[in-house]
Amino acid sequence: MILDSFETRPTRFHDVSQDKWGSWIWQQQNRLRTPEDFDGVVNLSEPEVRAFIDASNMFKVAVTPHYAALMGQQPSCPIRQQSLPQVGELEVWPFELEDPLAEEQFMPVEGLTHRYPDRALLYVTHNCPVYCRHCTRKRKVANPATTSSNPQLDSALAYIADHDEIRDVIVSGGDPLSLSNARLATLLRRLREIDHLDVIRIGTRNPVTLPQRIDDELAQILAEHAPIYVHTHFNHPREVTTQSVTALQRMVSAGCVLGNQMVLMRGVNDDVETVLELNRLLLRHGCRPYYMLQCDMAQGITHFRTPIQTGLDIVAGLRGRIGGLGIPDFVVDLPGGGGKIELTPDYLVEERPHEAGRELRFRNYAGKEYTLVDVVR
Ligand code: SF4
């Protein structure tokens, strides 16, 4: 069942009108940041309180009332795990990296990573409505001192304009929809003016954590620069709310092409049924499951990491139960800037020589075996 966050709003917000609840500005201004703010929302467990005190110094806490309204009363609730500090964040592992994807190393100008020849990643802000505990960019997200200044953005855009091998720009952050509409409109206009760009993408978790942000005015801006490819970040079916569905519909109507990047996390979404339910909901509302990302080797998120085999088992379990549109690529972003690789289940059972090349025996999603002659000339 799809939740409506206004209907499930905690007692703390019972007096809030539907109009206020629907205002993204009100949602931003009333974010929950301290343990006391959660009175009348959830009863924090003792480990959550301890983690709040110790871990929030390392990475800020902010939760929109909308997202808080999705929390269950158990600490194992997937919404709580993703937004409330966890004791696992305090555990330090020697292999963890501050910048797991070496984004700073491939930064020719401040605020822009150019790793693959044809793509560039542009960081426009380090603010987000909710600070996700699994964030891979904890080193700078939530730190206002690292937000792009106008000259920094100018030089990043000049770099893109000077490099005609760049055909695809991903506007990222933080959450780019934390920018004002005016700044966003200017940014999209300036990107559209660069003739060699084929693709403009925006990576945002606002449809999940602050869906009210996708209002008519923003939809109009997106429509003016269509098609904008929007990567959403839904991790659990509980996050697909009435408000999120409205946000997705507005973006689809504005000509956006939607794809979801789910992060695979222990205890949050590391089973076939959860991913299947999420992906069915997303497809129903025009958002294609695009990536299922293995959690990076970032500091303070090891407690979320799952064995690689878990991701492979989920992909194999989805096959046969949902069409290919609902099966995301299971991707590992290699540490040190190696880039993304896609991992797939191994369906090959046996290989034998054949007069035309080789004979391959495969096992399908249902466990049945079939032989295919692979013609090799
Ligand atoms: S919205 Fe994205 S950038 Fe912001 S905290 Fe969450 S994962 Fe990190």
How would DSSP label each residue in 186-202? HHHHHHHT-TT--EEEE
Ligand 1 near 141 CB (within 6 A): yes
pLDDT band at 186 (very low <50, low <70, confident <90, very high): very high
Confidence of residue 104 (pLDDT cuts 50, 70, 90): confident
Is position 333 annotated as part of the catalytic site? yes
| Catalytic residue list contains 132 | yes
Residue 216, number of CB atoms within 10 A of its CB? 9
Ligand 1 pocket, residue 135 CB under 6 Å = yes
Range ranked top by mean pLDDT from 96-100, 148-152, 182-186: 182-186
- Delimiting residues of CATH 3.20.20.70 domain(s) in the chain: 112-343
Beta bridge partners, 199, equal 168
Probe target for ligand 1 pocket from 175, 179, 261, with the most ligand atoms within 8 Å of CB? 175
Closest Cα to atom 8, ligand 1: which residue? 135
| Entry pTM | 0.96
Predicted local distance difference test score (pLDDT) of residue 138 = 84
142 CA: nearest ligand 1 atom: 5
Binding site membership of 62 for ligand 1 (Cβ less than 6 Å): no
Q: In which residue are the tokens 């909901």 written?
A: 281
Ligand 1 within 6 A of CB of 305: no
Which residue bears the tokens 């970032």? 298
Mark whether 128 is an active-site residue: yes
Judged by average pLDDT, the poorest of 6-10, 90-94, 141-145, 283-287 is: 141-145
The CATH architecture of the domain made up of 112-343 is Alpha-Beta Barrel (3.20)
Of all protein residues, the one whose alpha carbon is nearest to atom 3 of ligand 1 is 174
Cα 221 to Cα 200, 214, 228, 254, distances in angstroms: 13, 10, 10, 8
What local confidence, expressed as pLDDT, does residue 145 receive? 66
Look at residue 233 and tell me whether its pLDDT is greater than 80: yes
CA of 309 to the centre of ligand 1 (A): 25
Identity (one letter) of the amino acid at 91? E
pLDDT at 118: 97
Residue, of 126 and 197, whose pLDDT is higher: 197
Distance, CA of 230 to CA of 249 (rounded, Å): 13
pLDDT in tens, 128-159: 999 999 999 887 786 766 667 889 999 999 99
How far does CA 162 lie from the centroid of its chain? 30
